[in-house]
Amino acid sequence: MKSTSIYVPSQALFLSRRRAMSASGAAVLSASAVALLGGRDALAAGAKVSAQELEADVRILNTALGAELEAVAAYQVGAESGLLSKAVLPIAVTFQGHHKEHAAAIASTVQKLGGKPVASKEKYQFPVEKLKVEADVLRFAAGLERGAISAYLGAVPLFADRTLAQVAASILGDEAMHWAVLRQVLGEAPVPSAFMS
């Protein structure tokens, strides 16, 4: 029986995403950035933020945008791999769509804040050589989603503004649903424990 090597992102990847999202615990999105992200331009116009807070918001948003663009590219690799069954492919495409929506909203917000949105990389370093069967692709995607969960778990408690915590928790919930669905498709317990860490 041939064994397959399955890519599972390391704890270092989870921690690097957590640090990126929390910006080393020092910066959070301003209320105006969250309002813009939610499409509430009028609310954003009423929020008072310093130039320093605005710059920090743009940096944090661009970090999040970079992660969303990477997720879009990763799901594209999975979709084009030819390894996903007709039952699973629509799930991957749906999840990719969620990440595209997040990326578009974040890019628009960066522009509204006067920043320049980061662009997707020309080439990402995904472990495509290790993707041999459908389960490999699903575990790769689940690992990326788990990394996003870890990042948001680290970021939520850092927000001083409760609205910001709500936005981060909402995104965390979306990533957790993706992770649970991918685990379910893999035949694993979708919710393996009562707590996330």
Q: Give one DSSP letter per residue of the chain, joined into a string.
A: ----------HHHHHHHHHHHHGGGT----HHHHHHHTT-HHHHHH----HHHHHHHHHHHHHHHHHHHHHHHHHHHHHHTS-S-TTTHHHHHHHHHHHHHHHHHHHHHHHHTT--PPPPPS-----GGG--SHHHHHHHHHHHHHHHHHHHHHHGGG-SSHHHHHHHHHHHHHHHHHHHHHHHHTTS-SS-SSS--
One digit per residue, pLDDT tens: the chain, 197 residues? 333 333 344 444 444 444 444 443 333 455 555 555 655 554 455 455 567 767 777 777 777 778 889 999 999 999 999 999 999 999 999 999 998 988 887 788 778 878 899 999 999 999 999 999 999 999 999 999 998 788 777 766 754 445 555 666 777 888 899 999 999 999 999 999 988 87
Q: Are 75 and 99 in contact (CB under 8 A)?
A: yes
- Our measurement of the distance from residue 108's CA atom to the centroid of its chain's CA atoms, rounded to an integer in Å, reads 17
Burial tier of 162 (Cβ tally within 10 Å: 0-12, 13-18, 19+): exposed
**pTM for this structure?**
0.74
